[in-house]
Structure formats: structure tokens, C-alpha cells
């Protein structure tokens, strides 16, 4: 059975396999003990195909993980969306989740901003403010009002130290399309437009490109 792998994981998987082969050559016991780590590395970079649900007004999850408590928070200041609080949906990814990130809606990338920061545990609320992050401002298809823009933030965690984002300002993206990943264990925040209606419950397990988080104003 073929396991789909994200291209960012190929160098890591090759390294783990090489180390495992050397350990097996030195000692069968050492190789066997390290084998689960190699299997985990392969599993971490898996990239399964996903089919988004029908309905262009739906906001789907950008990440696999667990939905943390919904908060009212200001979007990242660097995206120039004002200081009015919005509903923030935060998804915590542990080291066993699929880490490929997908676009929650289709539209145009209006702004991008990378900000270095700390590496607090991504499940902590303060991670959204203090941790290293990559923020994207997205204007959904068919919308012209800036207040309808949506924000997606990739946030590094305690173990995660590398954010991969393939987006560029001006890109037109499809809902459910891959746009990056975070290594190893992290968090995704989605700041919704003020008119959006949340349809998912706190504590729900989400799947990127599949789980519906909210509905936009039609």
C-alpha cells in the first residue's frame, strides 16, 4: 500500500531510514528499538487526499487536530485588519496528527506576514500572541468588503520549530488546497469574519479540508 508523503518530509524520512540502517548494521537490538521512531517519522509526513464538502460559503478546517476553546481576540496587527475582536478558532495538532495545512476557503491572499517569537506549548492560549507565527489574510471569493476577510495563522509550538508556507500575496487559492505545514506539533488559528456563524463544538476532532468550522454570510 502506497503512503502519500508530503515533499517536505522526504529528507527527514531518508535521514531516519539511513540512521536506522546503520543501527541495524551495528546491532539488531538497537535497530529494532529505533524502528518505531522511523515509522513515526514516515507517518508524521503523510499527506492523504481530502475532498472538501460542497458549499462555497463553508469554512473548513485548515488542520487535523482538536478544537480548543473559542475566543474573542484581535487578529494579528501586522495584517492591518483593525483592532476589533473576532471569533478565533484554534486547532491544536499533536505529533501524531497529519500536519499538512489546507485553505479554509477559496479566495485571494491579500497579505502575508512572518513574525519570530517564542515557543510556548501550542495548546496554551498565549501561544497565539507570543509564539513564532506566519499569518495570512484571505479574501473569500465573491467578497469585496475587507470586514469579510478571513485570517489563517500557522503557529510554532514547543517542539515545532519550522513553519512551511507556500503562499504568496496575490495568489488565488482553492478551498481545501494544501498551503504548508509545521514541524513537529503545533497550532492553527482561524479568525472569522464578524458575520460568520460557528457550527463546530469546542473539543471536536477536526480533519483538514473536511471538517466544517463555520458558515460565511452568503
Give the tens place of pLDDT for each residue, 96-115.
888 889 999 999 999 999 88
Closest by alpha carbon to 165, among 208, 114, 98? 114
Taking the alpha carbons at both ends of the chain, their separation in whole angstroms is 42
User: Is residue 155 scored above 60 in pLDDT?
Assistant: yes
Q: Model confidence over 46-100: pLDDT tens digits?
A: 888 888 988 878 999 999 999 999 999 999 888 888 888 999 999 998 888 888 8
Q: Collapsing DSSP states into helix, strand and coil, what is residue 164? A: strand
Mean of per-residue pLDDT scores for the chain: 86
| Catalytic annotation, residues | 186
User: What Cα–Cα distance (Å) separates residue 146 from each residue in 2, 134, 143, 193, 204?
Assistant: 43, 20, 8, 9, 29
Q: How confident is the model at residue 131 (pLDDT cuts 50, 70, 90)?
A: confident
What pLDDT, on a 0 to 100 scale, did the predictor assign at position 127? 58
Please give the grid coordinates belonging to residue 54.
Answer: 460542497
Q: How confident is the model at residue 123 (pLDDT cuts 50, 70, 90)?
A: low
Instruction: Count CB atoms within 10 A of the CB of residue 123.
Output: 17
Q: How confident is the model at residue 175 (pLDDT cuts 50, 70, 90)?
A: very high
Q: What is the arithmetic mean of pLDDT over 108-136?
A: 75
CB-based contact 193:89 (threshold 8 Å): no
Please give the grid coordinates belonging to residue 44.
Answer: 508524521
- Please state the pTM of the whole predicted model: 0.84
User: Is residue 211 scored above 80 in pLDDT?
Assistant: yes
What pLDDT, on a 0 to 100 scale, did the predictor assign at position 122? 57
Q: What is the arithmetic mean of pLDDT over 154-182?
A: 84
Q: What is 58-215's CATH number?
A: 2.70.70
Q: In sequence order, what are the residues at sequence separation of 6 or more whose Cβ sits closer than 8 angstroms to the Cβ of residue 79?
A: 111, 113, 135, 137, 151
Residue with cell 506549548: 121
Amino acid at each position: 500500500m502506497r503512503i502519500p508523503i508530503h515533499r517536505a518530509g522526504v529528507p527527514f524520512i531518508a535521514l531516519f531510514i539511513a540512521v536506522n540502517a546503520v543501527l541495524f548494521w551495528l546491532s539488531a537490538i538497537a535497530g529494532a528499538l529505533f524502528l518505531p521512531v522511523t515509522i513515526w517519522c514516515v507517518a508524521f509526513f503523510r499527506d492523504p487526499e481530502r475532498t472538501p464538502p460542497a458549499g462555497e460559503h463553508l469554512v473548513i478546517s485548515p488542520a487535523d487536530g482538536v478544537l480548543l476553546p473559542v475566543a474573542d481576540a484581535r487578529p494579528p496587527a501586522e495584517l492591518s485588519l483593525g483592532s476589533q475582536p473576532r471569533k478565533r478558532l484554534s486547532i491544536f495538532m499533536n505529533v501524531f496528527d497529519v500536519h499538512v495545512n489546507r485553505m479554509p476557503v477559496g479566495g485571494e491572499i491579500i497579505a502575508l506576514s512572518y513574525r519570530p517569537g517564542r515557543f510556548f506549548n501550542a495548546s496554551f492560549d498565549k501561544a497565539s500572541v507570543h509564539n513564532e507565527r506566519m499569518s495570512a489574510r484571505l479574501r473569500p471569493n465573491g467578497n469585496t468588503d475587507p470586514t469579510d476577510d478571513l485570517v489563517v495563522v500557522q503557529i510554532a509550538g514547543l517542539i515545532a520549530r519550522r513553519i512551511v508556507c507556500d503562499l504568496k500575496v496575490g495568489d488565488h487559492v482553492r478551498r481545501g488546497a494544501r498551503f504548508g505545514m509545521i514541524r513537529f506539533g503545533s497550532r492553527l488559528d482561524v479568525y472569522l469574519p464578524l458575520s460568520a456563524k460557528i457550527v463546530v463544538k469546542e473539543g471536536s476532532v477536526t480533519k483538514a479540508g473536511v471538517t466544517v468550522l463555520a458558515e460565511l454570510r452568503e
